[in-house]
Amino acid sequence: MSCRHCKAIAIEEHFDQKYVAKELQLYRTEGPENTTEALIDALIAEGVSGMTHLDIGGGVGAIQHGLLRAGVSSCISVEASSAYIEAAKEEAQRQGHAESIKHQHGNFVDLAAEIPQCDIVTLDRVICCYHGVEDLVEKSSALSGKLYGVVYPLNNRKVRILGAWENLTYRLHRSSFRFFMHPTEVVEDIVRRNGFERRFYREIGTWQIVVYGRVAEPVKERS
Ligand SMILES: C[S@@+](CC[C@H](N)C(=O)[O-])C[C@H]1O[C@@H](n2cnc3c(N)ncnc32)[C@H](O)[C@@H]1O
């Protein structure tokens, strides 16, 4: 199955079978990236037992497996790359989690209206692959009932230079895939407006790892 919009945003072209096979091999031999590991640990520290999970752009499924092992009841994985979907299904089978993960192929922004609310929503290194940060963060944080976890690039001079260099190499290779460095304030404002507060923050290399928790509704006094 292929999605026209995922082709238009060059996701299918960039995250192709060759790229994904390497990522799957790396995950199997070395485990999750250190940033992913930090996000999984921070979510588990909040208490995830019995919760449902929506993973957007989950790649091979590292967060899904980490959280299922920690007691999460089920996951929905929305992924724009068909090569990643196939690899994630194979990995879910290998780890005995096939029954607990529902895979959906496509651009999350287009599919959001048909996806149910989940307790935990995660986007690990996804915000920098997508042009429409407002839509992506607005629609994904609105679907989280309890925890919202993101890994995305720091907004500083070093990352801007690295990003410009990366985009130049894509242009030279005639790829229409692009790296997007969206301002931290844009992400932060949307998530806070949707009712969340920061519970965890850590920087690793060029990445920021943030876990937000839904702010409890103030208890109304009886008159
Ligand atoms: C850099 S990879 C990260 C994969 C994985 N989360 C990890 O950290 O290893 C970005 C992933 O986000 C997915 N992605 C980007 N934009 C998306 C969107 N709008 N909807 C669904 N998936 C998206 C890509 O297909 C890709 O799998």
pLDDT over 90 for what percent of the chain? Answer: 91
CA–CA gap between residue 111 and residue 193 (Å, rounded): 22
CA–CA gap between residue 139 and residue 96 (Å, rounded): 30
Pocket test for ligand 1, best of 129, 133, 135, 150 (most atoms within 8 A of CB): 129
The 10s digit of each residue's pLDDT in 1-55 is 455 555 556 999 999 999 999 999 999 999 999 999 999 999 999 999 999 999 9
What mean pLDDT comes out for the span 190-218?
95
Distances (CA, A) of 132 to 97, 107, 181, 213: 32, 11, 11, 23
What mean pLDDT comes out for the span 68-93?
98
CA–CA gap between residue 120 and residue 70 (Å, rounded): 13
Sheet with 52-56, edge to edge strand ranges: 101-105, 74-79, 52-56, 118-124, 144-153, 207-214, 196-204
Q: Is the pLDDT of residue 77 over 70?
A: yes
What mean pLDDT comes out for the span 178-196?
96
Query: In the prediction, which pLDDT does 216 show?
Result: 81
Residue 212 contacts residue 191 (beta carbons within 8 Å): yes
Q: Residues lining ligand 1, judged by CB closer than 6 Å?
A: 11, 15, 36, 56-59, 78-81, 84, 107-109, 124-126, 129-130
- Containing 123, the helix (H) or strand (E) segment is strand 118-124
Q: Which amino acid is at 146?
A: K
Query: In the prediction, which pLDDT does 160 show?
Result: 94
Domains and CATH numbers, the chain: 4-153+184-214 (3.40.50.150)
Q: Which amino acid is at 189?
A: D
What number does the ligand 1 atom closest to the CA of 123 have?
6
What number does the ligand 1 atom closest to the CA of 23 have?
9
Q: Is 55 helix (H, G, I), strand (E, B) or coil?
A: strand
Per mean pLDDT, which range of 18-27, 128-137, 140-149, 210-219 is the poorest? 210-219
